[in-house]
């Protein structure tokens, strides 16, 4: 069986099994997610052992620290995965919601209601937690899942899908609604992206190169989860006592993720006093610094190199950051428009006019005012786990939870009416 035949078979099996999701009540889907959460905790030793196999291979391949962090599972992270699944189960049922309802003059009743997409493919790298997060969101929103993780997480993903399917066997939902697409062959990705008519939607989650490849190559509709070149702009009216903790949190709390900040912008009127403070705090936190010429002139003895165009375009995913001095809110926004990826941008200011102008000029999924970029996250925003963070504008934008995984159907109810 070649890759195309394999993916077609997996998709057909998942679609047929999805009938059990269509027939399931919200309570039954919630019970399935709780069963998965229970199983993840009960089998944590197996999951950690499989993850260690992946980590051993990754270390031997000299994978960088950022990717190692994304790949790693710990007891705390496993608890977090289970907690996220439970949080999704506690969210309002996204299906069967009436979005529009009216009665036509001829007596026909119209309703537009939310329904699942059907079969959704996920293509993702390294992070095995995505396996559970994606399955939880897709199942709760009534969708079957084709999960294609990376070969670096092959052992982790295999045991996690096994745990999911075993848990579903104890529920009214078929375990076949979750399928693992083999990661050992690049051709399975190509087959998934070309499975138009078999797969309803593909969502990539990972590096900029992976996302671009999926979006460019796919014949199946996609939702683009973009890279995160995120900025923190410290305005001239910022409360500087808040600024340093926000900057440090945005960069260092978990540098490998897409909502970590990559560039710090400082208003020129406060730069002389504030830039040395910010640079020292970042350096003390282990951050490698790159700055424009004006920043270098204020750095003193703090190690920093001259930033170039490539630096400002880079999503580091590590403890590395750019710093630049700007002359105004508009100047900061122009810099962001040139180098940003429409993900998350932050302004630190006590001036409401400046905050509103920054918001108006920011073309991105999320704008933060006086808080860390790290809050662009489904769990932090109360969505439970997220399927990804969309940078695009069609269908969904920002952290995508349950509602983003639904589409609509029109229900037209009559009493014998015919069209004249």
- Residue pLDDT, tens place only, 299-328: 999 999 999 999 999 999 899 999 999 999
Q: Beta strands 344-348 and 406-413: pairing type?
A: unpaired
For residue 50, is pLDDT > 90? yes
3-224+392-413 against 230-375: fold identical: no
Q: How many helices (H) and strands (E) does the chain have?
A: 15, 16
Domain map (residue ranges) of the chain: 3-224+392-413, 230-375
- Residue pLDDT, tens place only, 388-402: 888 888 888 888 889
pLDDT of 151 reads 93
pTM over 0.85: no
The CATH code for residues 230-375 is 3.40.309.10
Average pLDDT, the chain: 95
The CATH code for residues 3-224+392-413 is 3.40.605.10
Ranges of H-type helices in 285-328: 293-296, 309-313
């Amino acid at each position: 069986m070649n890759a195309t035949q394999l993916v077609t078979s997996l998709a057909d099996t998942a679609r047929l099994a999805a009938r059990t999701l269509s027939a399931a009540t919200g309570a039954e889907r919630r019970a399935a997610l709780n069963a998965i959460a229970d199983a993840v905790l009960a089998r944590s030793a197996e999951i950690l052992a499989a993850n260690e196999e992946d980590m051993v291979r990754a270390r031997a391949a000299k994978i960088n620290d950022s990717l190692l962090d994304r790949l790693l599972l710990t007891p705390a992270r496993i608890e977090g995965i289970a907690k996220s699944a439970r949080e999704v189960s506690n969210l309002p049922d996204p299906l069967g919601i009436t979005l529009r309802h009216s009665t036509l003059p001829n007596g026909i009743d119209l309703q537009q209601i939310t329904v699942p997409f059907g079969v959704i493919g996920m293509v993702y790298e390294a992070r095995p937690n995505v396996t559970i997060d994606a399955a939880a969101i897709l199942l709760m929103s009534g969708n079957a899942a084709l999960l294609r993780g990376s070969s670096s997480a092959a052992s982790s993903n295999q045991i996690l899908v096994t745990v999911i399917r075993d848990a579903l066997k104890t529920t009214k939902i078929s375990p076949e609604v979750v399928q693992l697409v083999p990661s050992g062959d690049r051709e399975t990705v190509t087959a998934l992206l070309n499975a138009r008519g078999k797969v309803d939607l593909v969502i990539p989650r990972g590096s900029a190169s992976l996302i671009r490849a999926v979006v460019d190559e796919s014949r199946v509709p996609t939702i683009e989860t973009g890279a995160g070149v995120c900025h923190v702009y410290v305005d001239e009216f910022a409360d500087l006592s808040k600024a340093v903790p926000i900057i440090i949190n945005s960069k260092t709390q978990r540098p490998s993720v897409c909502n970590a900040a990559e560039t710090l912008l400082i208003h020129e009127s406060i730069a002389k006093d504030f830039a040395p403070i910010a640079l020292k705090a970042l350096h003390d936190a282990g951050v490698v610094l790159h700055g424009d010429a004006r920043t270098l002139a204020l750095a003193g003895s703090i190690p920093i190199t001259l930033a170039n165009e490539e630096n400002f375009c880079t999503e580091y995913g590590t403890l590395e950051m750019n710093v630049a001095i700007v002359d105004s809110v508009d100047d900061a926004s122009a810099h962001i428009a040139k180098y940003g990826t429409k993900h998350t941008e932050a302004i630190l200011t006590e001036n409401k006019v400046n905050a509103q102008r920054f918001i108006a000029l920011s073309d991105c999924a999320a704008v933060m005012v006086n808080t860390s970029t790290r809050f662009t996250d489904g769990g932090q925003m109360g969505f439970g786990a997220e399927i990804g963070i969309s940078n695009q504008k069609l269908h969904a934008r920002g952290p995508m939870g349950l509602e983003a995984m639904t589409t609509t159907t029109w229900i037209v109810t009559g009493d014998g009416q015919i069209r004249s």
